[in-house]
A and B are shown apart, each in its own frame.
Chain A
Amino acid sequence: MTRTQKNPILFYLSGKRRKLLIILTLLILLFLTIVYALNAGSFHLSFERILIILYQTIACPGLLEGSNSEKIIVIDFRMPRVLLAIFSGISLAVAGCVMQALLRNPLVSPFTLGLSSAASFGAAMAIVFGPVLFPFIPLQYQSGTIVLAAFLLGWLSILLIYAISRMKGASSATLILSGVVIGYIFTAGVMIMKYLTNDEKLREITLWLMGGMWGANWNAVVIVAPITLICVLYLESKAWDLNGLAAGDDVAKNLGVNVHRLRISGLFVATLAASACLAFTGIIGFIGLMGPHIGRMLIGNDNRYLIPCSALLGALILLVSDTAARTVMDPIEIPVGVIMYIIGGVFFMVLILRGQHRVIT
């Protein structure tokens, strides 16, 4: 043909190698950040010491004394916080990535669709009303009601958005405006909760709304981690179908994708992942936007690679931000949610100014 003729097979294979290399690099970066984050703080430990403690905890838990202060700081205090940041980053970024594919709009994310506000309203209700909200759940499982309430309200907000997009089309303007308005409504709900409640719970809600990892403990990790992993695996298994949607509903249907079922189940699972972590961390904005967008720049639009890439980026961004949040002004801690608002807000502006979203709408 022309002198620039290339072999698409070679191009595909080299692209695939490059993508796997990027994912591997991100994994290594994440691991290094984990070690750094476990080390960061007023109580300093050497890197070797941290690796030894990690190794011993995984390989032979019996060897470590429960009272060992190093172990308590690393494993009981810092580790759950690091893990919660990682899993929250993963689920928010993947939820954003998948929502963008499902609604075919690059500006949607759990935060911009109002899911975060709705989930916080659910969580605030669970905090304020306690066992009254779900009386049928046995007392020992009541800690899970925050997740349940956050999820139910989050799901409600996504159903609203989906209904609106079916009636009015999924243009950026429609979706983002609906998200903002739904956000207002549920924020009003949270305000009512704050107004009605007592001082102790008020502080709990306020802290939580700012978004941060201080709610981290092993109980939280045990709930968030499996939900995140299962949801991400499920969504990854739908990567081809999500790719098909990019070609339009008609072509996707012809390629054998059950479009309606994919939208409903995909949104359901993405919402579940996002609200499970939001229930513990509070509102953390923009991760669901930054992860997938940086991912697209690095790795392209193939969801098979984009989902893991966004997940790792989300984990990295949130872990770095959280570690900075608790160490920059040590001993004072800045809520990571606040940091994310600032970084993410600037990112969002850049996105709009560059006009990238127009590619999709």
Chain B
Amino acid sequence: MNGEQQVLTVQDLSVKYGSTQVLNSVSFDLVPGEVICIIGPNGSGKSTLIKTLAGIISQKSGNIILNGKNISEYSKNAVAKTIGYVPQDFQYLTSASVLEAVILGRRPHVEWSLTEHDLVVVQGAMDRLAISHMAEKMLTELSGGERQRVFIARAIAQEPQIFLFDEPTSALDIRHQIDVFTMIRELSEQNNKSVLVAVHDLNFAYHYADRVMLVDNGDIVAIGTADEVMTEENIISVYGVPMQFITTEAGRYVLPIWDSAAPKVSSG
């Protein structure tokens, strides 16, 4: 591994909650413009990995190297300018407006007042997600999909090199899920941003990822291209559900085998 290419290198990263080991010596790297989808069952450590890299979980061991320098050598602000995070849940608790929410992304860049440049960046992010027309609306008035767009716009306004998404589409319908993943591809292809996204839907991972990371019990089971990682053997052993892979003209799909996947219901 040469340190020049990678924007992010993770070495032997471990996280413990109390006595429970949630991540075991995880190592991987991320190059500019790359989209890595993290898949794995609930509780496998996907979220923990994202949150640790986002600076939310601080009890960790191992190294996180950002542009060739250990993350501990950066100030909090400098890290915030490099890594942006889009949360899974609706976490906005006060009734902020859409504009206020997106402006928040500029926090690492400003002292007190916003410069013209800040405003241009905010406007660009809002235009990009087509939310400029709702600038005055309160977040509480928005639908789930609109709110997710506001959060993504905030992360874009933050102008990071690396975007971290924690199951960004779990509350969205299929149309909005596709919108979000299209946006993620654009960030990587048009802006050369690196993206790490935890995702539940295996087909989205298969379709949109440059590389797929399969995690289970805090370990990386496999990392590589979708075809390398998402083999029937890997998926079935990790998820414990029989799956079949179906190839059509439009692409390859992962589907559970319903009959044998259903839990055994005793007839008593």
Contacts and interface: CB of A to CB of B under 8 A. Distances in A.
A6 interface: yes
Nearest to A9: B119
A254 B133 contact: no
Contacts of A104: 93-94
A244 B100 contact: no
A11 B51 CA distance: 34
B110 interface: yes
Contacts of B154: 247, 251
B122 A8 contact: yes
Contact of B97 (A244, A247, A300): A300
Contacts of A198: none
Contacts, number: 122
A304 B107 CA distance: 12
A244 B100 CA distance: 10
A321 to B, nearest CB: 28
Interface string A231-261: 0000001011101101111110111111000
Contacts of B140: 359
A297 B110 CA distance: 26
B107 A255 contact: yes
A238 B158 CA distance: 19
B135 A11 contact: yes
Given A250-B91, A256-B76, A1 B133 contact: yes
B105 interface: yes
Given A4-B133, A248-B87, A250-B54, A256 B107 contact: yes
Interface stretch (B78-86, B174-182, B214-222): B78-86
A248 B154 CA distance: 13
B171 interface: no
Interface of B: 51, 54-56, 75-77, 79-81, 83-85, 87, 89, 91-97, 99-105, 107-108, 110, 112, 114, 119-120, 122-123, 126, 130, 132-133, 135-136, 140, 154, 158
Given A247-B154, A254-B83, 19 more contacts: A4-B133, A5-B132, A6-B132, A6-B133, A8-B123, A8-B126, A12-B99, A104-B93, A240-B107, A240-B110, A241-B107, A246-B93, A253-B54, A253-B56, A254-B54, A254-B55, A256-B79, A257-B76, A304-B112
